[in-house]
A and B are shown apart, each in its own frame.
Chain A
Amino acid sequence: MQMPLPDAAVILRRDEIAAALRLIVPGEGVIVSEPERRAYESDGLTAYRQPPLVVVLPSTLAQVASVMRYCRDEGIKIVPRGAGTSLSGGALPLADGVLLGMAKFNRILDIDYDNRCVVAQPGVTNLGISNAVAGAGFYYAPDPSSQIACTIGGNVAENSGGVHCLKYGLTTNNLLGLEIVLIDGEIVRLGGKHFDAGGYDLMGVLTGSEGLLGVVTEVTVRILPKPATARALLIGFAETEDAGNCVAAVIGAGIIPGGMEMMDRPAIHAAEDFVRVGYPLDVEALLIVELDGPAIEVDHLIDKVEAIARANRATSIRISRDEAERVAFWSGRKAAFPAVGRISPDYYCMDGTIPRARLAEVLARTRELSEQYGLRVANVFHAGDGNLHPLILYDANQPGEIERAEAFGADILRLCVAVGGVLTGEHGVGVEKRDLMGVMFNDADLAHQQRLKCAFDPDGLLNPGKVFPQLHRCAELGRLHVHAGRLPHPDLPRF
């Protein structure tokens, strides 16, 4: 993966830049020493490492604005960072760039039950929001598996999901307002506690923009009353295809479960070895279907789903009888990543989405690729929304394995696009899938996206090297190509 060539002149100015930043953020908020910078060298995509030029940890809005203005004036790149759990390298530092850590923005500013929303600083963790309102019976719905660590600002930047997002939506569907700082230090508020701000939906565009458009300094999220009850079914299938058909039949019956997760044989075995909760080991696919809502509704739907599972040749069905059992059903799925981590020195998590009807075919082809590349793969799958997480097992200490794992992963993502899906369902493009963007988008598609970037950040200083395979200058992108020779079009129907 080629990052933009670092500017040696900027690197030579490290001490001068640190001194200037110290005038904005005094004390320990500016980090220059090599060992301390190294703590920030990667995010959740640990294959890539690069200590930043300097780290700055502002604690006020005014400091963020001043840091950005300084960097803009000096032409210095900025990489925003939350908790650094991105799985796509979105927060990977640059050798000639300032790492802008938002960790000190860690306060909840307002809990408003009448309007069912919470205003939080971006460094508050995802779970921190739910915990703050749990006592009153509320929660924040999007729940990435990393929720104890990842920040709400990072969630906004990645438009993160979780196991409940088929029913409750991704981050973008649960946001009401943002405060952002633009590259020139301007502060802009988008939305608030009300719905659907007039004007262009820039909040919607900021969400999932991977730190390329602005720095998020405040977030207003919706909170929901906790469902009265939740129960889960654990359903085993001898054939993957049956499991896929079961998922389609559940949705076809008009049921949108709170969560619907699938695991394949290697993932089931790894999870069961790790947590020992009694997952069936003689099945090809295991489905967890969780129904949540009023007790009477949950009981009603559990019966329906059970009947659908039987009709689709389920080989085993367990229904949680109490909360402890429901949690046990989930524990294997929730521990799937560490479980796989136990059976392999390293693993690489992919994140494509496919039309669900193509599941069996995609899994079969993935197994073929697995043999071809000589690397094992375990699959966990947000089955309800078609978001596939193949975990490729490799050993970074074996020469060439990491490259093989990446090539294998890229082939899986190409396959996802080929069957009508997309490169990433919730983890973002980052550096990881940057060079695959051309598989999904042509030059005109990418140029339109990059022109939006130019509207926010004309000098390309915010998180460069992420998302877009090629950096075009804004002046070049802005040029109009009017094909005057082709016009006017006498053949056009006009009346």
Chain B
Amino acid sequence: MTRFVPADLDELRDAVAAALAAEEPVELVGGGSKRGLGRPLQTPHTLDLSRLAGIRDYAPSELVLTAGAATPLAEIERALDAAGQMLAFEPPAWKMLFGGGGEPTLGGVLACNLAGPRRIKAGAARDHFLGFRGVSGRGEIFKAGGKVVKNVTGYDLCKLMAGSYGTLTALEEVTVKVLPRPEAVATVLVAGVDPPAAVRLMAAALGSPHEVSGAAYLPTGTALALALPIDSGRVALRIEGPAPSVAARRDSLLREHSGAGRAESLAHSESIALWRAIGEVAPLTATAERAVWRISVAPARGAEVAQAIARSLDTTWFLDWGGGQVWAAVPETGDAGAGIIRAAIRGPEGHGIGHGTGHATLVRGSPALRRAVSVFEQQPAPLAALSRRVKEAFDPVHILNPGRMVEGL
């Protein structure tokens, strides 16, 4: 059992080359905060990337930032904050979800392609990932992308790295797009709304010109640690921007949706706290012994899918992304609802996998559970075969995080 702790790109290359020569896989660890995400690994060696850290170039007016891949997210956010900017995809830390251990890093949120509530307006990590340098499973240093916000030179390998969970390349340096932080934030809450009506309300708000940047729904019984006024079916809509614009849009939304339930608004700092809690999955973190699923479906189906699951399983759930993201906590018994949840995604028509109806990820579960059920959605044969060929193009001997996404890969 070796723990490689490379201090620079060359040492990273040597570490991967050593593992490759020995044909002994490594587990990539940045800050270690998301080790519980994905299938559990049992590798002979650990590749600790934590020394590949630090902001290397940040030009606020160019809207780009380059940093060592293991730079703590908190450090990035401090630097951006000082310049009035942010990572617009709102990378969640999920510290409460995973019990707090480890420090989230920039490379980690990119490799897992995470995104917070602003996903619906600003995109996910993939949409802000401009370039990188790293070492593939072939033990070779290479780079892709660039350090400018607009670039189509060569294949967009950043997209491939985003969401590859360290199975293709050990990232050493990454460049991301950054954006101005909005001057003001407000939230409109509409209470007393049932799930189907909530999804319709969110669709109407997102289809309006009010530039809603967050749309979530907490059904009756799903509690939030924050002291929200009412506990019965609440839709939350976020608006951001220059102060006069936020006030005007808040008032329009209050007016347009007051018929659906009791409508009221939250001011700046309460809004920030609320949306952080939603991004951090706070409504489900109290139930530490439960499995937590993240389900991505067409937004209009969010309530229907959540209710179908709740009919068969003891479920605590809520919706984000206008209904497009269902968060569900279920008891960790049997397959922790995997079969029921995936059937609900396929819908009453019983579409096959890979039909574009959505996917479920087991975000939190015991190692035994994550070994037993597919953490990520299974793929139809041609897509699975293609994904395998892609993996092997970068990591032919399967030495980087093998089995983290798919068994045997």
Contacts and interface: CB of A to CB of B under 8 A. Distances in A.
A38 interface: no
B272 interface: no
Given A296-B244, A444-B142, A387 B150 contact: yes
A493 B146 contact: no
Interface string B95-134: 0000000000000000001010001000110110000000
B139 A423 contact: no
B325 interface: yes
Interface string B142-164: 11101111111111111110111
Contacts of B139: 481-483
A467 B359 contact: no
Given A192-B356, A483-B17, A429 B154 contact: yes
Nearest to A427: B152
B261 interface: no
B394 A451 contact: yes
B327 interface: no
A182 B386 contact: yes
A234 B184 CA distance: 28
Interface string B338-374: 0000000000000000111111110000000000000
B330 interface: no
Interface string B163-191: 11000000000000001111100000000
A80 interface: no
A4 interface: no
A93 interface: no
Query: How large, as a class, is the contact surface on chain B?
Result: 35 or more
A204 B160 contact: yes
Contacts, number: 325
A173 B386 contact: no
B194 interface: no
A227 to B, nearest CB: 6
A223 to B, nearest CB: 9
Given A480-B396, A482-B20, A186 B3 contact: no
Interface string A170-210: 10110001000010001111111111111111111101110
Interface string B373-388: 0001101101100110
Given A182-B382, A294-B209, A493-B5, A426 B152 contact: yes
Contact of B392 (A192, A197, A455): A455
A357 B248 contact: no
A428 interface: yes
Contact of A193 (B14, B15, B298, B394): B298
A480 B397 CA distance: 9
Given A198-B359, A356-B62, A428 B22 contact: no
Nearest to A88: B152
B231 interface: no
A422 B146 contact: yes
Interface string A335-356: 0000000000000000001111
B197 interface: no
A296 B245 contact: yes
A353 B119 CA distance: 26
B104 to A, nearest CB: 18
Interface stretch (A251-259, A274-282, A305-313, A319-327): A251-259
Contacts of B180: 251, 254-256
A428 B152 contact: yes
A424 to B, nearest CB: 5
B333 interface: no
B405 A252 contact: no
A27 interface: no
Contacts of A423: 153
Given A166-B150, A427-B152, A441-B153, 10 more contacts: A116-B299, A201-B159, A385-B148, A455-B392, A480-B138, A488-B18, A489-B18, A492-B6, A492-B11, A494-B5
Interface of A: 112-116, 137-138, 158-159, 161, 165-166, 169-170, 172-173, 177, 182, 186-205, 207-209, 220, 225-228, 248-249, 251-252, 254-256, 293-294, 296-297, 300-301, 353-357, 382, 385-387, 420-429, 433, 437, 440-442, 444-449, 451-456, 467, 478, 480-484, 486-489, 492-495
Interface of B: 2-7, 11, 14-15, 17-18, 20-22, 59-64, 84, 113, 115, 119, 123-124, 126-127, 136, 138-144, 146-160, 162-164, 179-183, 203, 206-211, 241-242, 244-245, 248-249, 296-300, 321, 324-325, 354-361, 376-377, 379-380, 382-383, 386-387, 389-394, 396-397, 405
Which 10 pairs from chain A and chain B are nearest by CB?
Answer: A204-B159, A192-B356, A297-B245, A254-B180, A193-B298, A455-B389, A451-B393, A114-B300, A248-B61, A198-B376
17 contacts: A172-B127, A182-B386, A199-B379, A201-B126, A204-B162, A205-B160, A225-B207, A355-B62, A357-B62, A385-B150, A386-B148, A420-B148, A426-B150, A455-B390, A478-B396, A480-B138, A489-B17
